[in-house]
Amino acid sequence: MRKSLGLVLLALGALATILVADVSAQKAPIKVGFIVSLTGPFAPNGKDMANAFEMYLDEHKYRLAGREVKLITEDDEGKPATGLTKARGLVESQNVHVIVGPISAAIGYAIAPYVDGKKVPTVFPIVSSEDITQRKRSNYIVRTGWSSSQPSHPFGKWAYDNLKYRKIAIIGYDFAFGWEVAAGFHRTFEEAGGQVVQKLWSPINTPDYGPYLAQLRRDVDAVYCVFSGADALRFSKQYADAGLKERIPLIGGGTFTDEHVLRTMGDEVLGVVTALHYSAALQTPANKKFAAAYEAKYRQVPSYYSEGMYVAGQALKAALEATGGDIENVDKFLTALRKADLSDAPRGPIRFDDFGNPIQNVYVRKVEKVGDRLQNTVVHTFPNVSQFGPYKPDDYLKNPVYSRDFPPCRYC
């Protein structure tokens, strides 16, 4: 009798599993709106993002938590107005369940109030603008990437203590990203006892850095720079051509030697030290697997843009599985997203703070040549770094957002 009852219970359990799976399979596809720069100045970075997202969804056969995923990709052309228009179309015409992207901080700021007002779950894998998860945070936006100053805060003190630099000149992009990345370094470097004695700012797509290089002070221990893409390529080459490489060491924000541009750089960046939350050379099992799969598929090493989108996929999967695929219940989905287990991300373990920003490792990387190619060799790891660095959130938020003039350049 007991044996028969056990068989009946097993049969009922199996039937329930089948019915749940069948119900899940009958649900409409999960619509994911992907806003990315496929044309314009950020197109190469956007391609890295698109490649990695495609790879992640391919690995899961475009099904997450038992439901089909329909990816709807829109090109924001690197323009805030276009990005906002595309976000509106995805929400109001395509009825997407979630938005992922974009690249640009300006586009992130443009779409944030809109998705907040429409109560659309949104994942920012790359946009690092400080206030997205600080003073202007939204319950509907979760950032799986980073805040601009997050790697810079620990790096400022580290450069003082370990590289023994005492006087630094800064040069970087003349918009929020450049100011915020540089400010985190500036603040902690000076709190450790150093001096930032000069700040120079240049617009994106500067063709000739000659006038800026001529202004750089020669009595500093190092130059800290904030560039990416073609600007990083031009600046590093022109810095070396000006005879400065051997005289004044270059250090900087992590995008300066990120793999998206390191692939096309030469010996002019050998020895450059930067800080970021990812390196393709990370020797962890998760990253070895990810980097090998990415290179096999796309014939190039992944960049932080690639890894960022892959992690966004992991976060979506974790949240959907935690809710049984019920993305229609927005509050339930967002709660699960903020609690997503990302302990095995390629970059290392990730958990979210109360503001929707990752607490994660930050890596000090040094450009070295291994075999016939350059890599960002990890020379130091800061574990569990928050967007507020060594500061208490309440104290941090009392200050204005990092800018061209904050913190002030007291020694300039």
Per residue in 132-172, pLDDT (tens digit) is 999 999 999 999 999 999 999 999 999 999 999 999 999 99
Give me the pLDDT at residue 26, please.
64
User: For the chain, what is the radius of gyration of the CA atoms?
Assistant: 23
> 23-49: string of b/e by CB count within 10 Å (b at 16+)?
ebeeeeebbbbbbbbbeebbbbbbbbb
Within 10 Å of residue 386's Cβ, how many Cβ atoms? 18
Tell me if the pTM is above 0.75.
yes
Whether residue 145 contacts residue 124, with contact meaning beta carbons closer than 8 Å, is answered with yes
Distance CA 78, CA 271 (A): 32
Q: Is 136 exposed, middle or buried (0-12, 13-18, 19+ CB in 10 A)?
A: middle
* pLDDT exceeds cutoff 70 at 22: no
295 vs 280: CA distance, rounded Å:
10
Q: Is the pLDDT of residue 4 over 70?
A: no
| From-to residues of CATH 3.40.50.2300 in the chain | 29-147+284-360, 152-282+361-398
What is the per-residue pLDDT for 27?
A: 85
Residue burial 236-257, b: 16+ Cβ < 10 Å; e: rest? bbbbbeeebbeebbbbbbbbbb
Q: What CATH superfamily classification does 152-282+361-398 receive?
A: Response regulator (3.40.50.2300)
- With a CB cutoff of 8 Å and minimum separation 6, the contacts of 337 are 121, 123, 142, 315, 316, 318, 319
Kindly report the average pLDDT of the chain as a whole number.
Answer: 94
Measured at the CA of 184, the angle between CA 182 and CA 187, to 5 degrees, comes to 105
- Structure tokens, 33: 């709106």
φ and ψ of 137, to 5 deg: -65, 155
Structural element, H or E, at residue 358? strand 358-370
Question: 107 with 42: CB under 8 angstroms?
Answer: no
Phi, psi of 210 (to 5 degrees): -50, -50
Q: CB under 8 Å to 139, separation ≥6 — which residues?
A: 116, 334, 356
Output the CATH code of domain 29-147+284-360. 3.40.50.2300
> Residues 186-204: what's their mean pLDDT?
97
User: Tokens 């569990």 appear where?
Assistant: 384
How confident is the model at residue 259, as a pLDDT? 97
pLDDT for 124 beyond 90: yes
The whole-number average pLDDT for the span 197-218 is 97
36 membership: H or E segment, kind and range: strand 30-36
User: Rounded to an integer, what distance in angstroms lies between the CA atom of residue 256 and that of residue 230?
Assistant: 10
Q: Name which of 72, 76, 92, 96 is nearest 84 in CA terms.
A: 76
Specify which residues 70 forms β-bridges with: 31
**SS3 at position 122:** strand
- The pLDDT value recorded for residue 41 is 83
DSSP string, 49-105: HHHHHHHHHHHTTTEETTEEEEEEEEE-TT-HHHHHHHHHHHHHTS--SEEE--S-H
Model confidence at 342, pLDDT cuts 50, 70, 90, reads very high
Q: Read off the pLDDT band of 106 (50, 70, 90).
A: confident
